Structure 1
Amino acid sequence: MERVRLQYIDLLKFFAIFSIIALHVFLVWPKAKVMGIKVYSLSSIVRFGVPVFIMISGALLLNRDIEIGSFLKKRINRITYPFLFFYIITFIFIALTNHTHEQQNIFAFRWYFWTILGVYLSIPIINKYIQHSSLKEIEYFIYIFIFASIFYQFTYFFEIKQYFYLTLFLSPLGYLVLGYYLSKKDFNLSTSKMIVISIILFILSTSIKICGQLGYIPITENFVASQSVILSSWLDVSFIGILQAASFFLLCKSIYEASKGIFSPIKKFLESNIISKFVLSVSRASYGMYLINLIPTVIVYYYIQPMNLTGSQVFLAIPLISIIIFLVSWIIIVILCKIPYIKYVSGYS
């Protein structure tokens, strides 16, 4: 039986892949300033991308009847072949242009691949827990996820030595379970209230993250896995990061439930023929876009970054270049998915 495609999931993928591309563009100019403020601090606005992608996996893949062999074969093949294809393409590009890049190392190339690979290997185990638990019982996992985030963030910041081991929870698996939970949870609020609350929480969490980047609230700086007791990763597992990703997830989900009220025109716009097809296409191309966007970003780094733009010019250039790379990456993947044989490794699903 074919599963019904959830429109809000496609919208989440659309914004998540754009946020990742924009974050990579921000990294081209880490020191640019406008009125004494680092432009890079605004990258906190788009740091929800990877957590949201992991949450999507939880929403789509948990609480299903899984046969381990067929599940792993399907999922791992789907991400591995495109990964190897684009690794080779990127390696050749970097070699031919005489550039050096740390992601020539296959184990560093596109760290999200390695993260989601670990998530897929864990899903058959976590799935059993989800299948035999009520939403109330699943909240237990999420509570520890949030507690561990706050606890380790404080101990890291204050350099407190400790041996309290909760790393199973403070990991991508936390976002995986959170995504499933939020996809099923009914908060008994009107759609309009849910949207307003989600917007407020997203703005609040993002503002706090920006202040952390600027050094105004040091303890709220991004708390990533490489700064904790778990394996090296760039996954943001701070409490504020969790709040930002969760609020954005709920915002997109609630938008498609707005059949009436002040937010219903947004739903109608998203469901219009051209927009819905574009969102769907980007959603299906998102993994390939993630793998290919390094090449245009490297071009920007080597050919535009040396132009010594002013802080104001960088501030204006980042969103413009992000949109261009977003569209170029999408067009490349759409073209590749139409080529025989290549379509199987294009990352278009």
Structure 2
Amino acid sequence: MKKRIFFFDLARCLAATAVIAIHVLAPYRNELGIISFGEWVTAVSINSISRWAVPVFILITGALLLSDTRPFNLRYYIRRRLSKVLIPFIVWSLFYAYLSGWSAQGFDATTVKAVLADSLSHETYYHLGFFYYFIPLYLVIPFFQLAIQQADIKWIYAFTCVWLITTLLFLLKIDGPWSWQMWLYSGYLPLGYILYKKIPITSGTVAAITLLGVSALSITIYAVVSNSLANEEYTIGRWMSYKTLNVVLAASMVFMLCRYFGENLPKKVSQIASVISRHSLGIYLLHPIFLWPMKEYGWYQGHPGWVIPLWIVISGSGALAVSWLLSCSRKTAWLLP
């Protein structure tokens, strides 16, 4: 039996929380000049420092799957890896297409039909966009596994270095073939493997990566706030993209900090993190259900400093509870990856 690696639990727990925060604060982002400047900056700052959430999930996937030394088995891979994510995604896409037809004014079937018609190229609900670039990564994972198992590790280092350069070019709006979405997301996979298996977990290394991550977050906040003020409206450029160097550095920092501290957490904290981790994708899939009334009925009045944490707890707890209930029966457990 494999020893459980607790830092992955911690990383998933933090990433799930940050994802919810991003979705909770959404109503505040475009309120520049409408709400007080302090409230707007609070929400935008939380948004700026939370963009690492989705990339951390991809880093974890790369760390785990690329470190698997077993020979590649296509049948097992499709049945136990790809289909385990793909089938729930399809089911929940249909559910959220239906939910998209509901608003505070009632149900609109026309909206549902339009959402479904566009579902091959666009998510049926705002949080499902993650799967449109995550699922295709399963096509390239076997090639990375093969390269790591049979080729010189320098190849992976070289690939990752080139990828990091292209994330900077994309941030600076220097576009080219490297701007292809699949390329810009795929680099997180070998990066996760390198951060997990090849970077020494020393205080000096963690301090250096933390310095880069904090600097990236600070620059992101400054860039978004200053650009928005200059344009007198919420303006993010590419600073909030998951495909840019600033977000890569922030995600790497969170991953390494979890790796540094995660194995020495108090037992009670580890147990809580493990439960949340086990249901992290369930929380990801389900939390918008509990945010629906907040957004449709405007239940976010108040300073985001307390409104955001409150709704993180409400929607996160509700999603965790439903995820747990679904996992209790074999008839419904397959609905959540």
Query: Kindly, what percent of the aligned residue pairs are identical?
Result: 23
**How far 1:59 sits from its partner (Å)?**
0.4
RMSD over aligned CA atoms reads: 2.9
Residue 295 of structure 2 aligns with which residue? Answer: 301
What is the alpha-carbon distance in structure 2 between the residues aligned to residue 91 and residue 167 of structure 1?
A: 27
SS at match of 2:172: helix
Q: Which one-letter code corresponds to 1:179 in the other structure?
A: G
**How far 1:4 sits from its partner (Å)?**
3.3
Contact 1:198 1:248 in 2 (8 A): no
Give 5+ residue unaligned stretches, structure 2. Answer: none
Residue 290 of structure 1 aligns with which residue? Answer: 284
**How far 1:96 sits from its partner (Å)?**
5.5
Q: Which one-letter code corresponds to 2:44 in the other structure?
A: S
What is the alpha-carbon distance in structure 2 between the residues aligned to residue 301 and residue 56 of structure 1?
A: 31
With normalisation by structure 2, the TM-score equals 0.82
Residue 30 of structure 1 aligns with which residue? Answer: 29
Give 5+ residue unaligned stretches, structure 1. Answer: 157-161, 225-233, 258-266
Residue 204 of structure 2 aligns with which residue? Answer: 193
What is the alpha-carbon distance in structure 2 between the residues aligned to residue 302 and residue 164 of structure 1?
A: 40
**How far 1:317 sits from its partner (Å)?**
0.4
User: CA distance change for structure 1 residues 163 and 256 in 2, over 3 Å: closer, same or farther?
Assistant: closer
User: CA distance change for structure 1 residues 125 and 150 in 2, over 3 Å: closer, same or farther?
Assistant: same
Residue 21 of structure 1 aligns with which residue? Answer: 20
SS at match of 1:293: helix
What is the alpha-carbon distance in structure 1 between the residues aligned to residue 274 and residue 3 of structure 2?
A: 13
**How far 1:241 sits from its partner (Å)?**
0.9
**How far 1:169 sits from its partner (Å)?**
7.9
Q: In the TM superposition, what are the counterparts of 1:158-237 in structure 2 within 5 Å?
A: 163=176, 165=178, 167=180, 170-187=183-200, 190=202, 192-215=203-226, 221=236, 223=238, 236-237=242-243
Contact 1:201 1:243 in 2 (8 A): yes
Residue deviations 1:45-102, cap 9 Å, x none? 1111111111111101014321123202221221123223333333444445535688
Residue 53 of structure 1 aligns with which residue? Answer: 57
**How far 1:22 sits from its partner (Å)?**
0.8
Contact 1:285 1:333 in 2 (8 A): yes
What is the alpha-carbon distance in structure 2 between the residues aligned to residue 103 and residue 182 of structure 1?
A: 39
With normalisation by structure 1, the TM-score equals 0.80
Residue 240 of structure 1 aligns with which residue? Answer: 246
What is the alpha-carbon distance in structure 2 between the residues aligned to residue 83 and residue 155 of structure 1?
A: 32
Residue 335 of structure 1 aligns with which residue? Answer: 325
Contact 1:285 1:334 in 2 (8 A): yes
Residue deviations 1:295-314, cap 9 Å, x none? 11222101234x6x35xx23
How many residues matched? Answer: 313
Structure having the higher helix fraction is 2
**How far 1:118 sits from its partner (Å)?**
0.3
